[in-house]
Chains A and B, each alone.
Chain A
Amino acid sequence: MTAVPDNSPGQRTRRRPSRLSRGFVVAVPYLWLLFFFLLPFLIVFKISFSQTAIAQPPYLPVIGLADLVSGGWTKLRQLTIDNYTWIAGDPLYVKAYLSSLRMAAISTALALLVGYPVAYGIARAPRSIRSLLVMLTILPFWTSFLIRVYAWIGILKNEGLLNQLLLWLGVIAQPLTILNTDVAIYIGIVYSYLPFMILPIYASLERMDHRLVEAANDLGCPPTRAFWAITFPLSLPGVLAGIFLVFIPAVGEFVIPDLLGGSSTLMIGKTLWDEFFSNRDWPVSSAVAVVLLMVLVIPIMIFQRLQARQEGAV
């Protein structure tokens, strides 16, 4: 009798797909990363060690899978690190990286300042209108990103809506020059990426047990202190997720600085564009992209390692 459950065909068929499907569920994101991140990255990485050529594709050597199997060593020997020494040799690239990191950091800080209160407000709103508010947050995505950035040109330019309003209100006597400055880039980035800041913070605030704050208040803790002692630390995972979601794409942003910023703003996205399209130098632009990834990924990995250790300690 004890052997029956093992032999039962029903049991077995039920167990097998469950293991399979679990494996499938785990495999999908990894396969996704493999095909859409790791493979393209390896291709870019490989090109970054080649040299430009007037050919199709415009670099040498071109290494295919076949070469790796059948003695592509002569080709591998043509690979060079010249592109990286080139990047290190011209201060333009370092300045562009630093300038991009600075612009992204400022934009992220501004997005957090604006996004946190909004997320908090949504999380504290009556349950009945919460989903409506969340939907309003993502509503702008229903219009093309490009159109929304173009709309900012109309708002920010010297004769634009904002200046007209401020002049009419008597706040300013002369129109402000905002378009084609860094301020316009900050506005554009904060506006475009704000939902990515709001949503994760909202998610962590909404999950929070509000009774903790109530208990603190009951025990005589002032609301501000309760916020910093309880609410904020508990929302930290959402805040960090929001920071990463805004900061990382902002560093490589190209469209917003191109349309709203001035020509004097140095950003790595534009430098990359120049290398790729003006100079037709795929290897150097690949090297610029690889370095950008390193600049972003390594600090993030260190940070996550530290965080994991901290959590382990707690």
Chain B
Amino acid sequence: MKLQLAAWSAGAALLALVSAAQAQEQVVNVYNWSDYIDESVLADFTKETGIKVVYDVFDSNEILETKLLAGGSGYDVVVPSAEFLARQIQAGVVQKLDKSKLTNLGNMWDVVSERLAQYPDMSDYSVNYMWGTTGIGYNTKKVAEALPDAPTDSLALVLDPKNAEKLASCGIDILDSPSDIMSMTLNYLGLDPNSTNPDDIQKAEDALLKIRPYVRKFHSSEYINGLANGDICVALGYSGDVFQARDRAADAGQGVEIAYSIPKEGTIMWFDQLAIPADAPHVDNAHTFINYLMRPEVIAKATNYVVYANGNKASQQFVEPEILEDKAVYPDQATMDKLYVKRPYDARTQRVVTRAFTTVKTGQ
């Protein structure tokens, strides 16, 4: 009897151990941007490793940051943009990567890594997932009608009041993102796009106020549908969002044609980074997942699906030629040289910039 009992309890203990270990190994909680992966990548990962991917999505850096700052998010892998991640590293809400577990690091693209090095400690805490630019999305036909010989390759299209006035009738939208727009305006004015000098910010504010009457709306997502439906003809927005609008317009078949251009003055190059929260419950699985995404054929599959450039050099042979050759996705060297990195503002400058942007938007 006693033996049996002992055997039973040993068995039960073993079972508990196994299931605990399984619970430890079987799950990775991923929090990524919406529409940002080929779902089959997740299925393949689970098939190969036995780790189940619990996949959740967000649509703004701010939402992700708030969850991380509040703590206890329960996520193992998150994908903040580098400008935000830089601050999150400072706040101690993400953890250092264990590079011994990331055997595929050699595949990464030095062109991207070098730029990321402008953010302190970035490579210790994250690897690049995808990157893109902030630029001009426009409706080719409507812009040509409203403004013949429109400089669609320049920020002057929107930031020069003469052009903006003509385009106002067909609709201009601008990202509701103070730091992006402030930095692009500074760059257009020939000032340092990362300037924290209040005088420079005032100059940018004045320049934006001149085009304010011609802007339909400042919003961070409405321009996707706005462009696709033909409600607006120009938007300053993120490359990927404009591509989405382009695809939606093409699917709708209403004759709306959307194009994206990287301004010739240069613009922000942004990076979405894979990182592990400091309080992640499944750190090992997170590393396994990140390492899996660094395999050339895996990340190429994601790029082929979402049409964003990735930071993986070795993957380029697997990326579809039409994407690799699309200068709006993988810009040529001359354009690359003009792209710059937007560093995070300190709290005081952030406040000055947000306030200036509120003045631009509301006149208050």
- Would you call the interface of chain B mostly helix, strand, loop, or mixed? helix
A180 touches B216 (CB 8 A): yes
Tell which of A56, A95, A180, A280 touches B364, judged by Cβ atoms closer than 8 Å: A95
Please determine whether B91 and A56 come into contact, CB atoms closer than 8 angstroms: yes
Q: Are B354 and A274 in contact (CB under 8 A)?
A: yes
Q: How far is the CA of A232 from the CA of B65 in the complex (A)?
A: 51
Q: Contact at A281–B351, with CB atoms within 8 Å?
A: yes
Say if the beta carbon of A237 comes within 8 Å of chain B: no
Cβ B362 vs Cβ A265 within 8 A: yes
A70 in the interface (beta carbon within 8 A): no
Taking the closest CB of chain A, its distance from the CB of B334, in whole angstroms, is: 34
Residues of A272-302 at the interface with B, using a CB-CB cut-off of 8 Å, are 274, 276-281
Whether A57 pairs with B217 at a CB distance below 8 angstroms is: no
Say how far B210's CB is from chain A's closest CB, in angstroms.
15
Give min CB distance, A186 to chain B, whole Å: 18
User: Are A92 and B355 touching (Cβ within 8 A)?
Assistant: yes
Query: Given contacts A57-B70, A95-B364, A263-B361, is CB(A279)–CB(B351) below 8 Å?
Result: yes
B197 an interface residue at 8 Å Cβ cutoff? Answer: no
User: Contact string, B143-183, partner A, CB cutoff 8 A, digits 1/0?
Assistant: 00000000000000000000000000000000010100000
Would you call B190 an interface residue if the criterion is a C-beta within 8 Å of the partner chain's C-beta atoms? no
**How far does the alpha carbon of A144 sit from the alpha carbon of B217 in the complex, in Å?**
25
Q: Interface 1/0s, chain A 255-269, versus B by CB < 8 A? A: 000110011111000
Chain A residues lying within 8 Å of B216, measured Cβ to Cβ, are: 180
Is B350 part of the contact surface with A, judged by Cβ < 8 Å? yes
Contact in complex: A52, B347 (CB < 8 Å): yes
B363 contacts A by Cβ under 8 Å? yes
Whether the Cβ atoms of B215 and A263 lie closer than 8 Å is yes
- Contact between A54 and B87, CB atoms less than 8 A apart: yes
B111: Cβ under 8 A from any A Cβ = no
B358 within 8 A of A: yes
Question: B178: nearest residue on chain A (CB-CB)?
Answer: A278
Interface centre among A57, A58, A271 (most CB of B within 10 A): A58
User: Complex formed: what's the CA distance from A58 to B215 in Å?
Assistant: 34
Contacting residue for B90 out of A54, A180, A279, CB 8 A? A54
Structural contact, B350 and A280, CB atoms closer than 8 A: yes
CB contact list, A83-104 vs B, under 8 A:
90-92, 95-96
Interface residues of B in 60-102 (CB under 8 A from A): 60, 62-63, 65-66, 68-71, 87, 90-93
Given A159-B231, A180-B216, A278-B354, verify A57-B71 contact (CB < 8 Å).
yes
B219 interface residue (CB < 8 Å to A): yes
Interface size class of B (residues with CB under 8 A): 20 to 34
Residue of A nearest to B279 (CB): A56
Contact B354 A55 (CB under 8 A): no
- Tell me the minimal C-beta distance from A169 to chain B in angstroms: 23
Is there a chain A Cβ closer than 8 Å to B218's Cβ? yes
Known contacts A58-B69, A92-B355: does B363 contact A264 (CB below 8 Å)? yes
Q: How far is the CA of A274 from the CA of B177 in the complex (A)?
A: 10
User: Which of B63, B65, B71, B364 counts the most chain A CB atoms within 10 A?
Assistant: B364
A258 to B221, CA, bound (A): 11
Contact status A263-B362, CB under 8 Å: yes
Report the minimal beta-carbon distance from B208 to chain A, rounded to whole angstroms.
Answer: 12
Q: Report A270 CB to chain B, min CB distance, Å.
A: 9
Contact: A277 with B219, CB < 8 Å? no
Report the minimum CB–CB distance from B130 to chain A (whole Å). 23
Residues from chain A with a CB closer than 8 A to the CB of B92 are 55-56
Given A92-B355, A159-B231, A279-B347, A266-B362 contact (CB < 8 Å)? yes
Q: Closest B-chain residue to A52, C-beta based?
A: B347
Q: A92-B358, A276-B66 are in contact. Are A58 and B91 (CB under 8 A)?
A: yes
A265 to B215, CA, bound (A): 14
Contacts of B71 in A (CB 8 A): 56-57
- Once bound together, how far apart are the Cα atoms of A258 and B71, in whole Å? 28
Q: Which residues of B contact A259 (CB under 8 A)?
A: 222
- Kindly list chain B residues whose C-beta atoms are within 8 Å of the C-beta of A95: 364
**Chain A to chain B contacts (Cβ below 8 Å), 6 pairs:** A56-B69, A57-B70, A91-B364, A180-B216, A266-B362, A277-B65
Query: Would you list the 3 A-B pairs with minimal beta carbon distance, nearest first?
Result: A277-B62, A263-B218, A263-B361
Q: Which residues of B contact A (CB under 8 A)?
A: 60, 62-63, 65-66, 68-71, 87, 90-93, 176, 178, 215-219, 222, 231, 278, 347, 350-351, 354-355, 358, 361-364
Besides A56-B68, A274-B358, A278-B350, 15 other CB < 8 A contacts?
A: A56-B70, A56-B91, A90-B355, A180-B217, A258-B219, A259-B222, A263-B217, A263-B219, A264-B362, A265-B362, A277-B60, A277-B65, A277-B66, A279-B347, A280-B69
